[in-house]
Structures are given as structure tokens and as C-alpha cells.
Amino acid sequence: MANLQGFDANQVEPADDLEPIPVGKYVAVITDSEMKPTKSGTGNYLQLTFQIVEGEFANRLLWVRLNLDNPNATAVDIARRELSSICRSVGVLVPTDSADLHNLPCLIHVRVKRRNDTGELQNEIKGYSARDAKAALTAASETPPGVATSVQDAPAAETPPWKR
């Protein structure tokens, strides 16, 4: 049991019922990472928490589980490939710890899928790319043909880490 003295639900707005976000690409950062044991106890997975940091869905969280330690070699191969995509999207090719990937912006490619157990819709991250890809797409769509563009990437002193 937990001590809840001092909590008054009359003073706090209730949580919204969170529906899945629409399919698309969103700027996000990894805010947490943790190795956890698999249900079967025969391996471990790396759980990454992604937080969307821009747009209408800012502050929404999505999770990824990477089976990096598993008796199934195919599962490990898939997880290692996905981790490679994540590392490339944030620009850290040789991390020494999962924390090396935290607070670095990237684009997550989100889709909606139906859960096998309940039939409910849920979000799933199906790809990653560098945040610069979004800037390049936006600049290309807004810039007339033949006009050169440049993006100033130097962060201001008070700029949050995900806006670097």
C-alpha cells in the first residue's frame, strides 16, 4: 500500500482518455531507458521512452522494447537493427550507455495498429530518421525551385536539449 495523505482529487483535473495519435512523423527525444527481464525470464529487453516534443501531440509518450538479450537470434537481430536506426537518427553511432541517446531529437515514424489481445487501437513506432530530414522536407516544400536554403543549427543558450 502507498500513503496518499495530502492528495485531494478535488484539486486535480482528471487524466484525459488518451486516444492513439495519428499516423505520421513526430519530433521526439528519448527521456528514459531501462533494461528489463522478459516475461519468460530467459532474456532482457531495453525499454526506451520517447516523448514527442513539438506540435499538437507534444508531451505524449511512446515506448519501444528491444530484445537485445534473447535466446531467439532473430529477435536479437531485429532489435539490434532497430537500435542501429535509433543511433543513426540521433547521431550517436557508438553509445556506451543507453543514456547517451537521451534528449537528442529525432523523427519517430508512428503508425496505428490493433492489439491482438483486446482489439483496441494503439500506437507503434515503425521507423526513425534524423530530425534534419523534417527540416529538409519543410524547406523543400516552402522554397521555390532554384532558391538555396540554409538551416542555422546553433542552439541558443536557453534552448532545450531536444531543440539542438
* Lowest-pLDDT range of 10-14, 42-46, 100-104, 131-135: 131-135
CB 19 within 8 A of CB 1: no
The confidence score (pLDDT) of residue 18 equals 80
Name the pTM for this structure: 0.74
Distances (CA, A) of 157 to 13, 21, 149, 150, 164: 34, 32, 24, 21, 10
pLDDT digits (tens, 9 = 90+) for 66-117: 999 999 999 999 999 999 999 999 999 999 999 999 999 999 999 999 999 9
Q: Could you give the percent of the chain with pLDDT greater than 70? A: 80
Class of domain 19-137: mainly beta
The confidence score (pLDDT) of residue 133 equals 59
pLDDT at 155 over 60: no
